[in-house]
Amino acid sequence: MVIFSGEGQIIAASHPDFLLYDKSAFAKTVLAESETFFDLSIRDEPFRFVSNKVQWGDSQIIVGLGASQQRTRAFVRNVNVAFFTMIAAIGILLILTSIVATRVIVRPIYQLVDAIQSMDSKDGPTEIPVSTDTELGVLQERFNEMSRRIYRTQTELENKVREVEAAYRELKETQSRLVHTAKMASLGQLVAGIAHELNNPIGFIYSNMTHLRDYSESLVQIIHELEKAPENAAKIKEENDFEYIVQDMPRLIASCEEGARRTRDIVLGLRNFSRLDEAKIKKVNLQEGLENTLRLITGEIKNRIRVHKDFEPVPEVMCYASQINQVFMNILTNAAQAIEGEGDIWITLRHLKDEEGPGRVQVSIKDSGKGMTPDIQEKIFDPFFTTKTVGEGTGLGLSISYGIIKQHGGDIQVRSEPGKGTEFIITIPVAGIEGSSEIASA
């Protein structure tokens, strides 16, 4: 350290070599600025000094402090060595810490992740070894407990699923039996009506056959007698009522032909109604289905119910004909039974066109029967719901009809008021649902 006066002269110094210099040797250097750096070699050792002006009462002095550059460089080297040594030690510590962390923390976490991923592929519960008493060990224990609970729950769930599947199969079988029962009940009513319809033409065919047999015997007898005595032809014809037979026999034959035609039409209508030869979905003319169904329930409606038909030209619909005919049969039969005494049934057929696609076909069947209250309308499509007395209905006809229309992608609605009749509106898409196995099994 060196102390200079305000004029830059050396006053005191910590190194005796400064006293060998002229007192004003450093005046120019230290008076130049308020803080000055300068280099100086003392006994061949380089020093760097810094001088600064200091106010001491009313006087001003200049203090110069110097440091050996060699010692400073050595100190800096030592600092650098210490710094890099510390950095290396910290790096090694971090590596060791990461290794320890991998073994203690990361590896159990990986084991946990692998166990979670393998839970679906194992038959039993997935468990991992508990490797530590820390929070990770507690987590591993909780995971093992959770895995065991999940396996038990999954096993119970699989058992419940199997039970539900068995119950579903049993329900489907029961439903099939109920549907079959309902179909058989409808078939019984249909057969009774058809039997009544067939009885009339078959009855007068049978009664006419007696007369035709008598007439044929009489004609054979006339021929034999004419061969024996042709000169008595007039007398023989008169005795055997030949003229009457000639007049009456064409009428009897025409009557038998009419009865046979009526019988053929009924059987043909029944075959077209059932369409047993069409087990696949195909294009069906709904107007023909309505006509066939009306022919089959003629015994229910003739002489008391007037049928009003308003059929627009509509495209053929992709559907199962026998199922759609069954819907028509159920609704038309209900309409006829809802009319006490004489009444009317209105049937309309419309094509509802869409902007895109072939559109839909709408069938409306309306009767002038007694109608239904709102409570009955809400339950009309429920299985086993019926307003008929015991033995007259199963309550499945409209429920089955609803299912058939829905499975064909259509819609069925009912409108009714007490005393004002009932209207069923059926809408079926022209495109249908081609190839639906659900429809085929309905």
Q: How far apart are CA 407 and CA 438, in angstroms?
A: 7
Q: Are 317 and 389 within one domain?
A: yes
Q: Are 353 and 286 within one domain?
A: yes
Q: Are 270 and 285 within one domain?
A: no
- CATH number (domain holding residue 61): 3.30.450
The token pair that represents 75 in the structure block? 């100190």
Q: How far apart are CA 53 and CA 31, in angstroms?
A: 9
Residue 43 phi, psi (nearest 5): 55, 50
Q: Are 412 and 347 within one domain?
A: yes
Residue 300 is classified by DSSP as: H
Q: How far apart are CA 341 and CA 370, in angstroms?
A: 11
Are the beta carbons of 338 and 308 closer than 8 angstroms?
no
Q: Are 212 and 180 within one domain?
A: yes
* pTM for this model (two decimals): 0.47
Q: Are 20 and 53 within one domain?
A: yes
Q: Are 170 and 157 within one domain?
A: yes
- Map residue 60 onto helix, strand or coil: strand
Q: What is the pLDDT of residues 333-366, one digit of tens each?
A: 889 888 888 999 999 999 998 877 789 999 999 9
Are the beta carbons of 200 and 339 closer than 8 angstroms?
no
| Residue 368 amino acid letter | S
**Single residue among 274, 303, 326 that ends a domain in this structure:** 274
Q: Are 110 and 171 within one domain?
A: no
Are the beta carbons of 7 and 59 closer than 8 angstroms?
no
Q: What is the pLDDT of residues 117-172, one digit of tens each?
A: 666 666 666 666 666 666 667 776 777 777 778 778 888 888 899 999 998 888 87
**Single residue among 63, 85, 117 that ends a domain in this structure:** 117
Q: How far apart are CA 364 and CA 84, in angstroms?
A: 97
Q: Which domain holds residue 49?
A: 1-117
Q: Are 36 and 171 within one domain?
A: no
Q: Are 90 and 189 within one domain?
A: no
Predicted confidence pLDDT, tens digits, the chain (442 residues)? 777 777 777 777 877 877 777 777 777 777 777 667 777 777 777 877 877 787 777 777 878 778 777 777 788 888 888 888 999 999 898 888 877 766 666 666 666 667 666 666 666 666 666 666 666 677 767 777 777 787 788 888 888 999 999 988 888 787 667 666 666 666 566 666 666 567 767 776 777 788 888 888 888 888 888 888 887 778 877 877 888 888 888 888 887 887 787 777 667 666 655 554 455 688 889 998 898 888 877 777 878 899 999 999 999 999 888 788 888 888 898 898 888 889 999 999 999 988 777 899 999 999 998 888 888 888 888 776 666 654 455 556 788 888 888 888 899 999 998 888 999 999 999 987 653 434 444 4
**CB within 8 A of 233, min separation 6: which ones?**
226
**Single residue among 210, 239, 274 that ends a domain in this structure:** 274
Number of structural domains in the chain: 3
Instruction: 236-245: list long-range contacts, CB under 8 Å, 24+ apart.
Output: 242/218, 245/215, 245/218, 245/219
Q: How far apart are CA 206 and CA 250, in angstroms?
A: 16
pLDDT at position 260 is 82
Q: Are 270 and 292 within one domain?
A: no
Instruction: 169-172: list long-range contacts, CB under 8 Å, 24+ apart.
Output: none
The token pair that represents 413 in the structure block? 């609605």
Q: Are 391 and 283 within one domain?
A: yes
